[in-house]
Amino acid sequence: MGWLWGSSDNSNVKSNLDPSLQDFLKKEAPTGPKPSLPSKPAEKPREAALPAEHQTDSPEKPVVPPQSQFQDGRYAHLWKDYVPQNQLVNRSKSEQDKLRDIVDAFNDRKGEVGRIALENCALEYMEQFECFRAPKTYWQISTLCNAESRKFNRCYDMQSKFLKALGYLTMDVRSAEDSERIQMHADKLYQQMIEQETAIEKAKAEGREPPKFESVLSKQNVARAMSGQSLTAAPIADNPQVEDDTQELWKLIKPESRARYEKLLAEMPPSEQDIEKRALIGEIQANIGQAKQVQDTFVEERINRMKRREAGQSTIGDTIKRLWGWDRNA
């Protein structure tokens, strides 16, 4: 059992094998030269500096996709016709499959907003849970943990609005690091909002004039959060009008719906009106992105139908859609 423990005496390992096993290994052992990997392409010596008119833009090494383990250019000829798997899958999808994927992706992003907001409110949730599990005071028992529940619900609602306002709901392709960065920014802005509200309540309790702050979702605050700077509830002399760079998007809402939203905003506290409006703008941007993807899918499918018709390969579905007026210019 010495081999099991990594004994350093390996000289007699082969001789200790069964004779029949030694004969089998000799017969089955490969013969001939051992295969070797291609050597790393040699770097070209640096040429003397030439005038700009004599220089040519030639790549130093062949381009290989990121899926290759040899980014130095080896096996580049094998990768020249490579197509990623997701592109191959998309080519085989029908129009209905592509539309279903767009809707599913949008619904998944909406569900992800709720999950991320819940992560940011983990402490508030635990306070509520512990209050329900083992209330510490008679007040908590008599109110059924109303204060803790209200605190958690407000955190969840505001975090969701911050995520929407920061563009988490949009259909843009982004990495996990970018999504996590938006999550952190939303939590920073929420903590600043709580700090501002605490300062205002303290001033009112002391009989002082409440301080005025800029909007939590102002360009300056969002820029500071995005850059990782610390956010402090620093009061300002006057509360300036919030810069409104979303009028064009706001006009896209139907007049009757916009009137209903404006009435809802008027009933909210002034400090939350801008947050609610910017969260709504974030939803509008996400819907515009989804509509654009749907439109691009229809355009691509229409082009494919026209190509099949010109090649004499129209399907029954193509004929029905053309008769229904889907291809008016075809």
pLDDT at residue 53, rounded to an integer: 47
Closest CA to 216 of 278, 160, 174: 278
Average pLDDT, the chain: 78
> Does 83 or 188 have the greater pLDDT score?
188
Confidence of residue 36 (pLDDT cuts 50, 70, 90): low
Confidence of residue 12 (pLDDT cuts 50, 70, 90): low
Residue that has been written with the tokens 């052992």 in this structure: 29
pLDDT at residue 307, rounded to an integer: 80
For residue 44, give every residue at least 6 positions away whose Cβ sits within 8 Å of its Cβ, in sequence order, or none.
60
In this predicted structure, the answer to whether residue 275 has a pLDDT above a threshold of 70 is yes
| Under 8 Å between Cβ of 161 and 280 | no
Q: What is the pTM of this model?
A: 0.67
Confidence of residue 61 (pLDDT cuts 50, 70, 90): low
Tell me which range, 41-45, 102-106, 126-130, 206-210, is most confidently predicted by mean pLDDT: 126-130
Percent of the chain at pLDDT > 70 equals 76
In this predicted structure, the answer to whether residue 37 has a pLDDT above a threshold of 50 is yes
> Does 326 or 296 have the greater pLDDT score?
296
Q: Is 328 helix (H, G, I), strand (E, B) or coil?
A: coil
For residue 61, give every residue at least 6 positions away whose Cβ sits within 8 Å of its Cβ, in sequence order, or none.
41, 72, 73, 76
Looking at residue 212, what DSSP letter applies?
A: B
| Average pLDDT of the segment spanning 196-222 | 87
In this predicted structure, the answer to whether residue 51 has a pLDDT above a threshold of 70 is no
The phi and psi torsions of 236 (rounded to 5 degrees) equal -120, 160
Bridge partners, 212 (sequence order): 236
Domain boundaries, the chain: 93-231+267-292
- DSSP states of 220-260 as a string? HHHHHHHTT-------BSS-PPPP---HHHHTTS-HHHHHH
In this predicted structure, the answer to whether residue 30 has a pLDDT above a threshold of 90 is no
Kindly report which listed range (66-75, 199-208, 232-241, 291-300) carries the lowest average pLDDT score. 232-241
Please state the length of the chain: 330
Q: Residue ranges of the alpha helices (H) in the chain?
A: 19-28, 76-79, 85-91, 95-120, 122-133, 138-143, 146-165, 176-205, 219-226, 247-250, 255-266, 270-310, 316-323
Confidence of residue 240 (pLDDT cuts 50, 70, 90): very low
> Does 105 or 242 have the greater pLDDT score?
105
Confidence of residue 5 (pLDDT cuts 50, 70, 90): very low
Residue that has been written with the tokens 């002391």 in this structure: 206
